[in-house]
Chains A and B, each alone.
Chain A
């Protein structure tokens, strides 16, 4: 089955700086890669996703890049704000959809004011 590794497990940045979280996946057939943000005790919320036919996608301060050859994808948050502090999870799917997601281990992002 698919295996997703996520790094780093914790990340602290100063407000206004950029944050980058990286994930690698094992199955080259995976073709859908969402990112979720989870605040303490709350539900995960989809913040951005990318499919294997695209190399990069951007939504305001958030961007995701995908390197299919190397089997890794990254989340980039620019101009970080304290409200960006949360746990971020990457995931990968073989089905090309949000079904059968395999999640990474999560990254605790702390944005220091």
Chain B
């Protein structure tokens, strides 16, 4: 149990386009989901915390208008990278906080490449 999926696993897009990444908790309800960004050989940097039915809380330095987060249900959160540029190329990982277990379960990540 406690499986988190992400879609797509890889995406290549042109500069200026928008990309949507989905994060789903497949077998449990997640009141909170987290979005991280990871550059090659670096640590996970928390971008934002997404709570079901409310606005996301963004970390300092993360542009909320560029990285749109929607947490429409207890099993789905989406991250939209708007007007993507090459510097947005990165590995984006979501995680979900499972109710009652106090553990974050990570998705498999999405590799975004902006040309």
Flag if B102 contacts A98 (CB, 8 Å): yes
Flag if A89 contacts B43 (CB, 8 Å): yes
Chain B residues with Cβ below 8 Å from A49 are 103
Question: Contacts A43-B93, A44-B44, A89-B43 given: A101-B104 contact, CB under 8 Å?
Answer: yes
What is the minimal beta-carbon distance from A102 to any residue of chain B, in angstroms?
8
Chain A residues with Cβ below 8 Å from B108 are 42-43
Question: Which A residues, 26 to 68, have Cβ-Cβ distances below 8 Å to chain B?
Answer: 34, 36, 41-46, 49
Flag if A42 contacts B109 (CB, 8 Å): yes
Question: Contacts A42-B109, A100-B49 given: A105-B93 contact, CB under 8 Å?
Answer: no
Query: How many B residues have CB within 8 A of the partner chain?
Result: 21
Flag if B106 contacts A104 (CB, 8 Å): no
Task: Give Cα A100 to B106, complex, Å.
Answer: 14
Task: Give Cα A44 to B25, complex, Å.
Answer: 16
A–B complex contacts, Cβ < 8 Å, 24 sampled:
A34-B104, A36-B106, A41-B109, A42-B109, A43-B4, A43-B106, A43-B107, A43-B108, A43-B109, A44-B44, A45-B106, A46-B104, A46-B105, A89-B43, A97-B97, A98-B97, A98-B102, A100-B46, A100-B49, A103-B43, A103-B44, A103-B45, A105-B42, A105-B43
Give chain B's interface residues, CB within 8 Å of chain A. Answer: 4, 32, 34, 41-46, 49, 93, 97, 102-109, 111
